[in-house]
Chain A
Amino acid sequence: MNPSSPRAAWRTGALQALPIAAGYLPIAFTYGVLAQGAGLSTLNTLLMSLLVYAGASQFVAVGLLASGASPLSIVLSTLIVNLRHMLMSATLAPALKGWRWRQQGAFAFELTDETFAVHAMKVSTGALNPAESLALNLSAQAAWIAGTALGVLAGQVVGDLRALGLDFALPALFIALLALQIKGGRQFAVAIFSGGLAVALQRAGWGHWHVIGAALAGATLGSLLERWTKRRSP
């Protein structure tokens, strides 16, 4: 099969979504269970996974709905929780040059922490292929929706999901993608600094801003370090 054929691109994308899917299934399952418990109809529970598709904010929204919060406060919380995606969208933008308008829209709609992480790793080795990238995104969201549906069907947390180790899928994904991208001391320093700062900011009560704050500071440190080393060895 021609490696650049659409079918091959779709297969590659779906394969690369596998670790994301493994991590999404149990989380979306839990979301489905909690949403039902919070009084969302089956339709609304699924609708949120279909239209919002943002893990952390879906859990926040379910919690707020259960506590009787107003629609406005729920929408505002969602905005704050998901603002970090601006950084990810900006980072990937140059790799989406030349994509069709609709392809960019579809890509953005399914841009999550995890799909970003995989796309960013692939950008470091070349441009993004539309079919492959969209296949990856679609597969990931399919897993998210499937997990939600299973949670709705089960209605309660069944057995001990932790025995399967799937809760480690997404941390392992991030570890692996870091391992593949860290090539030298400067990048290692950026990772240690951002990671440590994120922990510190979270402990300091930054709420959902700790990722944005630590990422901005880490990228700044990275470009400063790069400029200093260039100046020292012209």
Chain B
Amino acid sequence: MDQTQITLTILGMAVVTFLPRLLPIKALSARSLPPVLAGWLKHMPIAVLAAMLVPTLLAPEGDLAVNLSNLYLWASIPAWLVARRTHSFVAAVLVGIAVVAIARRLL
């Protein structure tokens, strides 16, 4: 594929990426949602977050690693505690990064 074709492919990718991001906002932001749908969407953030997070935590390198040498699992504990204690996700992320960096240096 030459660079022009690649550019056109990228434009196509941009369209099919943008529309799923845009259409639900356009369709749903102007009206009040039926209670059933609103109640269902209320649970979506936690459900989506967990669905994206847990596979990464349990298999940081791609293979399931539910064991004590899984650094991501260990580092989750301080990240969780700092978020709960400080209510700051920025602080929790910085602590999480630091724990992983220090552990890699020491281990």
Whether B21 and A111, one on each chain, are in contact in the complex, defined by CB atoms closer than 8 angstroms, is: yes
Query: Quick one: given A163-B101, A166-B97, A172-B92, are A190 and B43 in contact (CB under 8 Å)?
Result: yes
Interface residues of A in 150-190 (CB under 8 A from B): 162-182, 187, 190
Residues of B within 8 A of A48 (CB): 10, 13
Residue of B nearest to A186 (CB): B43
Whether B89 and A118, one on each chain, are in contact in the complex, defined by CB atoms closer than 8 angstroms, is: yes
> DSSP majority for the A interface?
helix
Residues of A within 8 A of B97 (CB): 22, 164-166, 168-169, 172
Residues of A within 8 A of B46 (CB): 178, 181-182, 187, 190-191, 194, 218, 222
Of A2-10, A102-110, A138-146, the one contacting chain B is: A102-110
Per-position binary interface string of chain B over residues 38-53, scored 1 when its CB falls under 8 Å from any chain A CB and 0 otherwise: 1111111111111111
Whether B90 and A16, one on each chain, are in contact in the complex, defined by CB atoms closer than 8 angstroms, is: yes
Within the complex, the shortest CB–CB distance from B33 to chain A, in Å, comes to 6
Interface size class of A (residues with CB under 8 A): 35 or more
Residues of B within 8 A of A171 (CB): 53, 56-57, 72, 76, 96
Verify if A28 is at the interface (C-beta below 8 Å from B).
Answer: no
Please measure, in the bound complex, the distance between the C-alpha atom of A220 and the C-alpha atom of B46, giving whole angstroms: 12
Residue of A nearest to B16 (CB): A79
Residue of A nearest to B76 (CB): A175
Residues of A within 8 A of B51 (CB): 194-195, 197-198, 210-211, 214-215, 218
Within the complex, the shortest CB–CB distance from A10 to chain B, in Å, comes to 16
Verify if A33 is at the interface (C-beta below 8 Å from B).
Answer: no
Please measure, in the bound complex, the distance between the C-alpha atom of A226 and the C-alpha atom of B36, giving whole angstroms: 11
Per-position binary interface string of chain A over residues 202-234, scored 1 when its CB falls under 8 Å from any chain B CB and 0 otherwise: 110000001100111111111100110000000
Most buried by A among B21, B55, B64, B72: B21
Within the complex, the shortest CB–CB distance from A211 to chain B, in Å, comes to 5
Please measure, in the bound complex, the distance between the C-alpha atom of A219 and the C-alpha atom of B50, giving whole angstroms: 11
Q: Which of B13, B25, B44, B101 contacts A61 (CB 8 A)?
A: B13
Please measure, in the bound complex, the distance between the C-alpha atom of A173 and the C-alpha atom of B12, giving whole angstroms: 31
Query: Quick one: given A44-B6, A48-B10, A86-B20, are A176 and B44 in contact (CB under 8 Å)?
Result: no
Query: Quick one: given A48-B10, A165-B97, are A211 and B72 in contact (CB under 8 Å)?
Result: no
Please measure, in the bound complex, the distance between the C-alpha atom of A43 and the C-alpha atom of B7, giving whole angstroms: 9
Please measure, in the bound complex, the distance between the C-alpha atom of A40 and the C-alpha atom of B9, giving whole angstroms: 12
Query: Quick one: given A179-B80, A223-B43, are A104 and B25 in contact (CB under 8 Å)?
Result: yes
Residue of B nearest to A227 (CB): B39
Whether A89 and B43, one on each chain, are in contact in the complex, defined by CB atoms closer than 8 angstroms, is: no
Within the complex, the shortest CB–CB distance from B16 to chain A, in Å, comes to 4
Given contacts A94-B28, A211-B48, 9 further A-B contacts (CB under 8 A): A47-B10, A51-B11, A74-B9, A84-B48, A87-B24, A91-B45, A121-B89, A171-B96, A172-B93
A and B contact pairs by CB, cutoff 8 A, 7 listed? A22-B93, A44-B6, A91-B45, A121-B89, A176-B92, A202-B55, A220-B40
